[in-house]
Each structure stands twice: as structure tokens, then as C-alpha cells.
Structure 1
Amino acid sequence: MEAVIEARGLRKSFGEVHAVRGIDLTVKAGSIYGLIGPNGAGKSTTLRMLVDIIRPDSGSISVLGHTPRLSKPELRRHIGYLPGDIKLSDRTKGRSILEHFASISGPVAPGTVEELAERLDLDLRRPVRTLSKGNRQKLGLIQAFMHRPKLLILDEPTSGLDPLMQREFLNLIREAKANGQTVLLSSHVLGEIQHTADAAAVLAQGSIVAEGDIASLRLSGIARLHAVVEAPGTPGLLTELEASAQLSDLRVDEVGERLIEVSGLLRGEPDSVIKVLARHRIRSLTLEEPDLEESVLELYEHSEEQP
């Protein structure tokens, strides 16, 4: 697949704050790509550079085969952009705002705005000043989707949405992909990325610390262990497990008479830990692949340990 977005060596500083530190990014046509990271990781700055709201200190950008700073008006018609801090005129009604955006972004098929408003449960007759944060976010989503752009760039798109509307949003981006559109979204809600994205990049302190398809971002050689054993007390079992040096985030709790619950993140082969547990009667034992959230938290912690 051809690349819809190609960014190489992107750097951006604000005074002494290095917001983006040499990011390389490739987003393939027809895919959903996620940027994962906490506040301050560089997600919004990266997206703003892609749509030429701010310009990088160094590096190159290609979006839909064009350099954004050289072809902004024409390129904008093929992009649906939702900023992370959308600002709308308080005195204007929702429908009037969307008509204004349509004059900038290009033609909108008849009935599209009404269909999106119905799906997102938004009354377009109301002035923006009367809308909650969630309803303002819905208005921003409609303006991004309504002209069916080739590329959607969405910064924290579910901010302020209730769970039902979050689910509807996920349906919208899946449909966009099915229609051949490309989606780049940033989020700190890992479930959005885990259940919809084809690939993702994990940002920390302005750098990409891991990237690839969702399966590859999960920690390899690590499993979440949970066991219940019969043992005379927790101190002895805790000491034995700590000696194996393979369990992090270790918890040992009494859950009943002579019953002890053990949980932790297992690194490497389980043999030594299983042998420790097998000195007691094992009532239950499970080993599960860590989810994306655990993997990303590990990556954040590792990045913070780096100089």
C-alpha cells in the first residue's frame, strides 16, 4: 500500500521545551493508525505539523503526496481534521458552523450532516454556547467526517463523549476504513487503539519508543500470572517468589483459610515460578498475554529510565 503520510526527522521545540524529537512516521493508505501517549508526549504537536497549523523546526512532511506548507488550501479539502482543543463561535448555531466549514472543506453530499447528527444524537439547531463539552466534540466530529475526506486526522476524538457515543465513533472510523479512507488518530484511551487500529506508535517525551502492528506492540516473553494455592501463610511464599526474580508487580494476598492468591507480571520462562508454587497445592493457575495497556505502561516506564 502507498503511504498517505510520510514524516521524517520531525523536530519541534517551544523555547527550552522539546515537544517532538526526531519522529519518523509512515501511515499506509486505507489503514487506521494510532498515536498513543500521555499528555505532553508530542501527539498534538505532531498532528498540528501534519496539517500545517505549526511548522517543524526541521524534518520533512508529505501528506497525500503533497507538502502541507506548499499546498494547504487544496490539501485541506481532502483532510478531515479534529483538533484536540476545538474552538467554536459561542453565538452561532451548530448547523451554521457546519455550513461554514463546508465552504472551506468542499462539497458535502445531501443528507450527510443530518445522518451524522442523528447517529451522534446532536441537535444542530442549538447555539454552541448551550452545548456541553461532549456535544461540542460531536460537532467537531461531524465537520471532520461530513465531506468524506481521503484522510482523517483526529486528535483525542472521544474526549467528552459518553460510552455509547464512543462506541458510535468507533463504528464511524471502521466504516471510513471500509470506504477506503485513511484514519490517523491520537489517544490515551488504549481500548480505542487496541480494538480499531491496524498499527500504532507509542510516544513518550517527544519520541517514538515503539511502533508496529497492534500484536507486535504487546510485550513478548511476558505474561500475567494469577494463581490460588494452599499455603500456611503469605510471608514464606512471598519470600520464595521474590527469590525467583521473575515476577514484577507481585501481589500475595490471603483470600480464605489457608488460601493465598498470587498475581504478577511474569518475565521469561515460567518454570522456576511454577516450581515454587508446586511446593503447595495449586487450586488454580492462569497465564495470560498482557493487554496493550500493560505493554504501553511498561514502555513508558522504560522510556523514563533512559537518560
Structure 2
Amino acid sequence: MLDRLLSHGLALVERALRVPWIAEARSVVAADAEAGGSLLAAALAYRALFGLLSGLVCVAGLIGWLFEDPTRRADAVATLATLVPGVEPVAGIGLDSFVAGRGALSILGLVGAAWGASAFYDALDGAINRVLPGLRERNPFERRLRGIGAVVVLALSGVLALGIGVALPTLQDVVGGEPLRFLVGAGEVGLTVAVLWAGVVTIYRLVPTAAPSLSAAGLPALAVGCGIWLAAQAYALLTPLLVGGLAVFGVFVSLFGLLIWLGWVSQLLLLGASWTRVRRDGSGALIPGATRSDGRSGPTPTGAGRS
């Protein structure tokens, strides 16, 4: 009796594992594991953090040049204080320090931003092409051009998503009536996810040497865009608690929280790339235990992969 129940149970499990969406999910997890997705995501998050900090130094230098005039600086602090109550003392000290060190900040920021962007793209290119492999290599000139494009696309996507997240909640506070507030809130989520989708799908199509089709990359990119939005909401909720509980460690806690969030985003990006690989190379790609006709593990490259 027990053997019969066990055999029926195993048969049900085997049947469930053959369900298309479950088999595809197993292939995605296997592709991510085969590429070392967790280690790649950690390296990518670290490079992204370094690039962001270098970029912030560059922005600080530019702000110092823009607000060199004391009157203009005072007006900017007053305007910021109306938007964020209580920030006036910190903003005033910050702008003064930016102006005082604008020369050094600009030079160090530009050098650091260029180095950080280059290092980030090298990590991004290596990670994406490991998860979405092809059988050819690009020449250094094409690789560098695509690298500049990838970094610009990611930066623009982040800035646009941040701008939407700042502008539409402000509009939501201004408009009257619950229906309009709901529409503005839904529009914020929809526009943010759309911008993130566009950025992610561009990366999936621009970086790999064997570029997937839009139909293969579109759905994974949409899932990644939604995941990044959810991760941002979780980060916004958890960071004040983390900073408040560990305030004695100061800015290091904020950097640690940012690194955690970047790790989430990097892992989502690579999982989406693994899903894109499975959709590009076929539903049977890299199911655990499967082998290719040439005896190697991994999906058999399609026409896109052999070009």
C-alpha cells in the first residue's frame, strides 16, 4: 500500500515537472546557477555602487559651480526647505562645501565617473554574456560603443524613473478627488515600470553577442521592471528603520542599504537574462540533468547564437 502511494506520488511529481511553465522555471533557475548568477550579481552590485558614488562626487562638483553665487545658493536652500522641512541647515552646509571644493570635486568626480562607468560596463558585459552566451566575440571598438550605450541607457532609465517618482506624487497631492488621485498613482506605477522595461529590454538586446529577439526579451524585461519597482518600494520602507536602528554607524548604514538594493536589482537583471536565454534557445534549454547533442550541458545555440 505504501509503495503504491509512493509510486503515485512520484508519478504526480514527474507529471507536474513536465508542465510547460514549471519546466521553463526550472530551466531559468538552472541557467542562472550554471552561469554563477549569485556571484555575478554581487560583483555587478559592487561595481554599480562604486560608479554611483563616483557619479555623485562629479554631481557635487557641478552643483558647486552652478551655485557659486551666494544669493542663488540661499534661494536654492530656501526652495528646498519648503519641499523638505528641516533640511535647510544640512542643505546650506552641503552647498557651501560643494562650492568650496568644486574644483577638486569636479576633477576627481569626472575621473572617478569615467573609471566607474568603464568598470561597471565591463562587469555588466561579462555577466550578461555569461548568462546569454554566443559563439562570436565583438571587436573592441564595437564593444566599447555598446558599453557607452548600455551605461547611458541605464542612467537615463534610472533618472526618468526617479523623476516620475518625484513628480507624480507631488501632482497627486495637488489634484482633488479620490478618482484622480488613484489615476495619478496608477500612472506613476505604470510609467515607472514602462521606463524600467525599456531600459532592461535594451540592455538584453544591446549587450549580448547573440542578441535575443524582442519577443524573447520582452516578457522577462517586464518581470524585471516590476521586480525593480517592488524592490525600490521595499528599500524605501526598510531603509528608515535600518538607519534609525543603526544611526551610530552613520553614512555606512546608508551605503550598506544601497548595496543590498543594488544586489537585488542585479540578481533580478540576471534572472531576467536567464529567462531570456531559455526563451531564445527553446523551452528545453538547460533543464537540470539534460545535455545537448554534443554532450555539453547548456542550451544548444540557435541561429542567433551562431551568428
- TM-score class normalised by the smaller sequence: under 0.3
Which one has the bigger strand percentage?
Answer: 1
Structure 2 length-normalised TM: 0.23
Higher-RCO chain (CA-CA 8 Å, sequence separation at least 6): 2
Which one has the bigger helix percentage?
Answer: 2
Structure 1 length-normalised TM: 0.23
